[in-house]
Amino acid sequence: MDLQSIKVFEQFANNVDFAFWVSSPDVTEYYYMSPGYEKIWGRTIASLIENPHSFLEAVHPDDVERVTQAAVGKEPWNMDEEYRIIRPDGTVRWIRDRTYPVYDDQGNIYRMTGTAEDITERKQEQKDLHQSLEQFKQFAENIDIVFWVCDVDVKEFQYISPTYEKIWGQSCASLYENPRSFLDTVHPEDIPHKMAAIKNNPTSMDEEYRIIQPNGTMRWIRDRTFPVQDENGKVYRMVGIAEDITYRKQAEEETYKALQREQELSNAKSEFIATISHEIRTPLSVIQSSADLLHHNIDRLTTEKKQKHFQKVESSVQRITSIVQDLLIIAEDEASSLQFQPTEVDVVQLCQETIGTIVNYNKHRIEFKVSGDGAKTAMLDAELTNHILTNLLENGLKYSQPDKKVDFELSLLPNQVKFCIQDQGIGIPTENLSHIFDSFYRASNVETKPGTGLGLSIVKLCVDTHGGGISVNSTVGEGTIVTVTLPRSNRV
Ligand code: ADP
3-class DSSP assignment, residue 31:
strand
Which one has a higher pLDDT value, 351 or 153? 351
Same domain, 294 and 394: no
Residue 134 lies in a domain: no
pLDDT, tens only, 280-290: 998 999 999 99
Report the half-sphere exposure of 339 (CA within 13 A, side-chain side): 7
Q: Which residue is closest in CA terms to ligand 1's atom 23?
A: 396
Check residue 1 and give its pLDDT. 60
pLDDT digits (tens, 9 = 90+) for 302-318: 999 999 999 889 889 98
User: Is 414 in the same domain as 302?
Assistant: no
Q: Pick the atom of ligand 1 nearest to 451's CA.
A: 2
**Ligand 1 pocket test target in 280, 394, 395 with most atoms within 8 Å of CB:** 395
Shared domain for 85 and 196, answered yes or no, is no
Is the domain of 352 the same as that of 458? yes
- The burial of 21, by beta-carbon neighbours within 10 Å (0-12 exposed, 13-18 middle, 19 or more buried), is given as buried
Largest pairwise CA distance in the chain: 156
Q: Of 331, 348, 374, which residue constitutes the final position of a domain?
A: 331
Quickly list DSSP for 174-231.
HHHHSTTGGGGGB-GGGHHHHHHHHHH-GGG-EEEEEEE-TTS-EEEEEEEEEEEE-T
- The three-state secondary structure class of 32 is strand
Ligand 1 atom with minimal separation from the 479 CA:
24
Residue 32 lies in a domain: yes
85 and 176 housed in the same domain:
no
> 454 pLDDT exceeds 80?
yes
The answer as to whether 136 is a domain residue is: no
Give mean pLDDT, residues 118-123.
92
Mean pLDDT of 54-68: 95
The band of 490, judged by pLDDT with boundaries at 50, 70 and 90, is low
State the distance from the centre of ligand 1 to the C-alpha of 390, rounded, in angstroms. Answer: 13
Distance in angstroms (rounded) separating the CA atoms of residues 365 and 115: 123
Rounded to 10 deg, the angle between the 382-398 and 455-466 helix axes is 150
Looking at ligand 1, which residue's alpha carbon is closest to its atom 2? 451
Q: Which residues of 182-219 are buried (b: 16+ CB within 10 A; e: fewer)?
A: beebbbeebeeebeebbeeebeebebebbbbeeeeeeb
Residue 448 domain flag = yes
Residues with CB under 6 A from ligand 1: 391, 395-396, 399, 423, 425-428, 436, 442-443, 446, 451-457, 480
CA 310 to ligand 1 center in whole angstroms = 27
104-113, 127-136, 407-416: least confident range: 127-136
% of the chain beyond a pLDDT of 90: 70
- State in Å: Cα 167 to ligand 1 middle: 54
Q: Domain total for the chain? A: 4
Q: What is the mean pLDDT of the chain?
A: 91
Residues 266 and 290 in one domain: yes
pLDDT score of 113 more than 90: yes
* 444 CA to centre of ligand 1 in angstroms: 10
* Same-domain pairing of 212 and 309: no
What is the pTM for the complete model shown? Answer: 0.53
Give the containing element (helix H, strand E) for 421.
strand 416-422
* Single residue among 304, 331, 358 that ends a domain in this structure: 331
Angle at 395 between CA 394 and CA 398, to 5 degrees: 80
Query: 336 C-alpha vs ligand 1 centroid, how far in Å?
Result: 25
Within a domain: 164: yes
Residue type (1 letter), 331: A
228 and 270 housed in the same domain? no
Q: The domain that contains 186 carries what CATH number?
A: 3.30.450.20
Mean pLDDT of 286-299: 92
Query: Would you say residue 159 lies in a domain?
Result: yes
Is there a single domain that holds both residue 255 and residue 240? no
295 is in which domain, residue-wise? 251-331
pLDDT band, very low/low/confident/very high, at 37 (cuts 50, 70, 90): very high
Please tell me whether residues 274 and 223 are part of one structural domain.
no
Look at residue 443 and tell me if it is in a domain.
yes
The strands making up 406-412's β-sheet, listed across from edge to edge, are 366-371, 406-412, 416-422, 479-487, 469-475
Interval between CA 442 and ligand 1 midpoint (Å): 6
- Span from the CA of 458 to the centroid of ligand 1 (angstroms): 12
Q: Indicate which CATH number applies to the domain containing 472.
A: 3.30.565.10
**Ligand 1 atom closest to Cα of 425?**
24
In this structure, the number of other CB atoms found within 10 A of the CB of residue 253 comes to 11
pLDDT at 492 over 60: no
Q: If we measure between CA atoms, which residue out of 170, 192, 173, 190 comes closest to residue 182?
A: 170
**Residue 13: what pLDDT?**
77
Residue 131 lies in a domain: no
Average pLDDT over residues 225-239: 91
> What b/e string do you get for 471-482 counting C-beta neighbours within 10 Å, with b at 16 or more?
ebebebeebbbb
pLDDT computed for residue 271 by the predictor: 82
Do 230 and 259 share a structural domain? no
Examine the fold and report which residue of 279, 311, 331 is the final residue of a domain before the chain moves on: 331
Q: Which of 442, 460, 470 to mutate to test the pocket of ligand 1 (most atoms within 8 A of CB)?
A: 442
Tell me if 57 sits within 8 A of 68, measured CB to CB.
no
Same domain assignment for residues 327 and 346: no
What's the 443 CA to ligand 1 centre distance in angstroms? 7
User: Which residue, by CA, sits nearest to atom 7 of ligand 1?
Assistant: 455
